[in-house]
Structure 1
């Protein structure tokens, strides 16, 4: 990994918070003030805070997304859930307004009257009904407001990524500012993360070179890692397939949503290639840890761009980002 030597200065930065800004690390207050408040019109937030709206918007603009099976909107539908699921072997149930990976239930197979989680645990129809009822009640939604449950097809991730994720589908987070990709990482599921690609729950974060799509740095729960803790796979070998398509898909989300600072989460399906999973108007900052460098120098470059440069075609914006931010 080309940037493993970044880890030592980064550790010192963690010990001395005053040094963060001088080393280009974006903090939460600066993110909120300089980028989220500055570039994100709050009127557009519902487009990304509601996964169902995001999915329908993406489909409207021909951005690939996991296929929608059904939407559960009422407790009456929960009682009739067996009819919805009786022919399904694998599927995903998620809250439309959930955040941080909460409330997502991934079922990858079936054993008689039970479904099988990625960990191998069996889940009964009654447990699924209880989970959906909790979603509708707002247990996982932003602000605890009533929600709807989305049922969609389960991703079968690209074979080139097998071994880099355990019990779950890896995803790719790309930070996009004013239509330009500025930093990327992949999140790899582990046993401790219960098969979810969520860093706060124990997934591995690996920084990805914008130029090549190759791994440059790996972290797990704040500690540097070189191999996947469950599979033993050398993270330095990781190469994201369809990399140019991933970046162009991420950059297009700016044009579609009008949000100038956002996180795009992409998955690589074995048959359909890159697909948009969800969008985030308040993307987290751990991507800097996974890359071993701060966001600020890159974002300041984007701040200086003219209106004409922001209106360049997607492919040209991606090409310039790769040129400016090559590792």
Structure 2
């Protein structure tokens, strides 16, 4: 992908000049260096993430129930019967795989955001697949989490299609360094997954305003399904979102993480999950490279001590977007 992009659009040194971080540099210089492997279970297991978040006073979606063993699958209907909507997900899944969202039900028919109906047998079969490790990292046996739906905030009407948008913030040594919002589309089946066709909107780290948007690595201006102007997007409660993301450094002990936050209409910002190996597409969405920002934080020194609030102030000052980036067609940067 990178070689093809270089051959078509850039000199061999262009990516380095732009500060674009590649997979090898991310893995060796940041993930391996700053993320102790003994701490991975805290973020690779969503149930563990929920536990440490609650201990730290961070709001998370309500947990309806957990199914750990095959003989418990028949109890699924009892767990969900009083919940109009809910979400079933693997505790150790990645990339949005294995997540089923139900927005309404009558006890026999369970409707997905697309309008497709599932039966209880379909849902039980899906839970069995989760337990078998079909969606887990490394294919290892897993457990199924059943969570309450997030109440979609009206401020995002038209920006997302049939799904709840989330905000990804890359946090390095406790400093929020880059952010984007992921918006679901028909192509992504209502999921905020860029590889499945969701829209990524780069956000100004200072204000939470949109500065650029991409789908399938190509710049766009309007949401492909709703037609909403993506440049109008501004995330409310922005300082609080950054503060919560920053505090995940102390909460997890990991130096390089991706925090996924959602905005609930009634509960405000909530932590959806943490990622110890966040992807690199956030650079494409922002039209900027991570490397210069990471190095600026590294220059502060290993003994520098800042509170989450001080780290947020530093990031908002140092990494603010200077100008609104153009939405016209331009060569996409590689992931």
**Fold match, TM over 0.5?**
yes
Partner of 1:167: 162
Per the TM alignment, residue 257 of structure 1 is displaced from its structure 2 partner at its CA by 0.7
Q: What is the TM-score normalised by the length of structure 2?
A: 0.92
Partner of 2:278: 283
The within-5 A match list for 1:227-238 is 227-238=222-233
2:268 paired with 1:273: yes
CA gap 1:12/1:291 in 2 versus in 1, 3 angstroms: farther
Partner of 2:131: 136
2:145 paired with 1:146: no
Q: What is the TM-score normalised by the length of structure 1?
A: 0.94
Per the TM alignment, residue 313 of structure 1 is displaced from its structure 2 partner at its CA by 1.0
RMSD between aligned alpha carbons? 1.4
CA gap 1:17/1:105 in 2 versus in 1, 3 angstroms: farther
Check whether the contact 1:264–1:280 (CA below 8 A) recurs between aligned residues: yes
Bigger shift: residues 73-82 or 24-33: 73-82
Bigger shift: residues 13-22 or 283-292: 13-22
CA gap 1:146/1:298 in 2 versus in 1, 3 angstroms: same
2-structure distance, mates of 1:12, 1:230: 33
Give 3-state SS (helix, strand or coil) of 1:183's partner. strand
2-structure distance, mates of 1:155, 1:83: 21
- The superposition leaves residues 24-71 of structure 1 with CA deviations (integer Å, 9 ceiling, x where unpaired) of 000000011111011111110000000000001100110110011100
Choose from 314, 317, 323 the match for 1:323. Answer: 317
The within-5 A match list for 1:31-180 is 31-111=26-106, 113-180=108-175
Per the TM alignment, residue 86 of structure 1 is displaced from its structure 2 partner at its CA by 1.8
Give unmatched runs, 5+ long, in structure 2: 322-335
2:173 paired with 1:189: no
Bigger shift: residues 113-122 or 139-148: 113-122
Per the TM alignment, residue 80 of structure 1 is displaced from its structure 2 partner at its CA by 2.3
Check whether the contact 2:86–2:148 (CA below 8 A) recurs between aligned residues: yes
Check whether the contact 2:81–2:107 (CA below 8 A) recurs between aligned residues: no
Bigger shift: residues 200-209 or 18-27: 18-27
Per the TM alignment, residue 304 of structure 1 is displaced from its structure 2 partner at its CA by 1.0
Equivalent residues, number: 317
CA gap 1:305/1:81 in 2 versus in 1, 3 angstroms: same
Which runs of structure 1 show a deviation greater than 6 angstroms over 4 or more consecutive aligned residues? 10-13
1-structure distance, mates of 2:40, 2:269: 24
CA gap 1:278/1:313 in 2 versus in 1, 3 angstroms: same
Per the TM alignment, residue 18 of structure 1 is displaced from its structure 2 partner at its CA by 4.1
CA gap 1:17/1:250 in 2 versus in 1, 3 angstroms: farther
